[in-house]
């Protein structure tokens, strides 16, 4: 599926409302991607200037009818406050693979929002597209994220990266065939 109706990126889960990133979300984006504590297992925090440029790039992509570079703001339905961002980044069109990720505000962690949002996002991607495999990359140094990925249904890829060090990443995936049977 090459073109996607943008309204499909506005949906709800039990506790969350997910919607496309908009201009008014720049402060949230900056607060997440420039915070050293939030970024400690993801990568180096962005400078304010780099975060601004990155936000504008992602904002422009939100109007494109594709799955690549799609960012969704996660709002807690009870408070209507943003708790984080989830979305897609890399896409390997030939292999029908898509990368997903999530980043949460400090106060939203350990509340089950990540699992709820990722599960809903994966369901949405498989329902809307011909994508066969969804993958995540995460720090080998973060057991909480590994537990999350296990609960969501991800498994280590055959070519998983397991180098030592803070920035070493693990690559895990879930396939359409196994997802649909769970």
CATH numbers and ranges of domains, the chain: 6-181 (3.40.630.30)
Are 99 and 68 in contact by the 8 Å Cβ rule? The answer is no
The two tokens of residue 168 are 């070493």
Instruction: Return all residues near 70 (Cβ < 8 A) that are at least 6 apart.
Output: 9, 20, 61, 62, 87, 88
pLDDT for position 95: 67
> Mean pLDDT across the stretch 3-11?
73
Length of the chain: 182
The 10s digit of each residue's pLDDT in 52-110 is 999 999 998 887 777 788 899 999 999 999 999 999 986 666 668 899 999 999 999 98
Instruction: Return all residues near 174 (Cβ < 8 A) that are at least 6 apart.
Output: 122, 133, 134, 135, 152, 153, 154, 155
> Mean pLDDT across the stretch 143-162?
82
What angle in degrees, to the nearest 10, is found between the helix axes of 113-128 and 143-152? 40
**pTM confidence score:** 0.87
pLDDT for position 15: 97
Angle at 38 between CA 171 and CA 28, to 5 degrees: 110
> Mean pLDDT across the stretch 143-163?
81
Cα gap 103→100, rounded to integer Å: 11
Mean pLDDT, all residues of the chain? 87
Alpha-carbon distances of 60 from 56, 138, 153, rounded to whole Å: 6, 26, 31
Are 31 and 48 in contact by the 8 Å Cβ rule? The answer is no
Q: Rounded to 10 degrees, what is the CA torsion of 149, 155, 161, 167?
A: 0
């Amino acid at each position: 599926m090459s073109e996607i109706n943008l309204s499909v990126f506005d949906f709800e889960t039990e506790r969350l409302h997910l919607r496309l990133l908009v201009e008014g979300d720049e402060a949230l984006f900056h607060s997440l991607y420039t915070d050293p504590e939030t970024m400690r297992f993801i990568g180096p925090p962005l400078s304010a200037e780099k975060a601004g440029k990155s936000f504008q790039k992602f904002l422009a992509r939100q109007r494109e009818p594709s799955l690549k570079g799609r960012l969704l703001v996660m709002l807690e339905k009870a408070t209507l406050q943003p708790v984080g961002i989830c979305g897609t980044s890399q896409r390997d069109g030939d292999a029908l693979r898509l990368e997903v990720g999530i980043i949460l505000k400090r106060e939203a962690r350990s509340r089950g929002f990540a699992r709820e949002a990722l599960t809903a996002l994966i369901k949405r991607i498989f329902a809307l597209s011909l994508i066969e495999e969804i993958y995540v990359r995460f720090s080998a140094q973060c057991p909480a994220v590994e537990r999350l990925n296990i609960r969501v249904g991800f498994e280590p890829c055959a070519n998983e990266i397991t180098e030592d060090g803070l920035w070493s990443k693990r690559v895990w995936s879930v396939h359409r065939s196994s997802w649909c049977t769970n």
